Amino acid sequence: MSQYAMVIDLDRCVGCHACAIACRAEWKVPTEEGYRRNWVKRIGPEKTPYGISYTFFPGLCNHCDHPVCVDVCPVDPEERTFTDFRTGKKTRMEIKATYKDPFTGAVLIAKERCIGCGACVEACPYHARYLDETLDEPKADKCTFCYERLAHGEEPACVKTCIADARIFGDLSDRNSRVYKLVHKEGAKRLESDVVKIGPNVYWKGKKKDLHALFKNYAPRERTWEEVDNMSRRGFLAGLARKTSLKG
């Protein structure tokens, strides 16, 4: 199975925010506070054990191996056919509103199934999702690795615009890909902690001091999804809503 992934090279990144804006432009992300699929946070200058660091946290959805956002989605599963845009191969699987794409490993949202409950938004330890409340019916939204652009042979918008070529996108299951080399041979790192290990597929590469500052400031340290243990209640509510609508 393929797993699309991104590596961000902090040694190349100049913190210009082009990625964040290109994403907004491409997907009309609401500009009100708190809405972003893709962001740049500045870190420092601050002291680290390896010297002073002034670096960046260019972040996005990590398209995790074990996406807790998918786990917590309370929507009833429904079977659906998926097509690989590269090979045309088809497969069927059950999805809730948010799911992990069987062909690219991208974590996606079936917008028409999303009930806007916000469980996934709360569960994401990376704060990579938002609930778009500018819509008449709020829906969860986040980075899709520009799935639609990929399907049309385009790169993700952030990768395309990156002025320093600091974002490298590709298939981590392909041993010849650049992302494979960067991850498996050049030590690009996932933003994880001992407590939060859900297999993110975005990696950061950089100097020791910069990675130290990045992890110190932004590695998630709380299992946010444990707080939404009342999943069953939500599932019940969603199910109830569905039954009602069917009966009506």
120 binds another protein (CB under 8 A): no
Closest CA to 123 of 221, 224, 22, 16: 224
Angle at 239 between CA 234 and CA 242, to 5 degrees: 130
Q: Give the shortest CB-87-to-another protein separation in angstroms.
A: 16
**Pairing relationship of beta strands 4-9 and 167-171 according to DSSP bridges:** antiparallel
Looking at residues 183 to 222 of the shown chain, list those that interact with another protein (rule: CB under 8 A). Answer: 210
109, 131 contact by CB (below 8 A): no
248 binds another protein (CB under 8 A): yes
CB closer to another protein out of 17 and 127: 17
Q: Report the distance separating Cα 217 and Cα 238, nearest Å.
A: 36
94 binds another protein (CB under 8 A): no
227 binds another protein (CB under 8 A): no
Piece in contact with another protein (CB under 8 A), picked from 168-176, 187-195, 218-226, 239-247: 239-247
Q: Report the distance separating Cα 231 and Cα 70, nearest Å.
A: 12
CB atoms within 10 A of CB 227: 11
Residues that bind another protein (CB under 8 A): 11-12, 14-18, 20-22, 24-27, 31, 33, 40, 44-47, 52-55, 75-76, 78, 80, 83, 95, 110, 112-113, 115-118, 121, 131, 133, 137-138, 146, 148-149, 151-152, 154, 157, 160-166, 210, 234, 237, 240-242, 244-246, 248
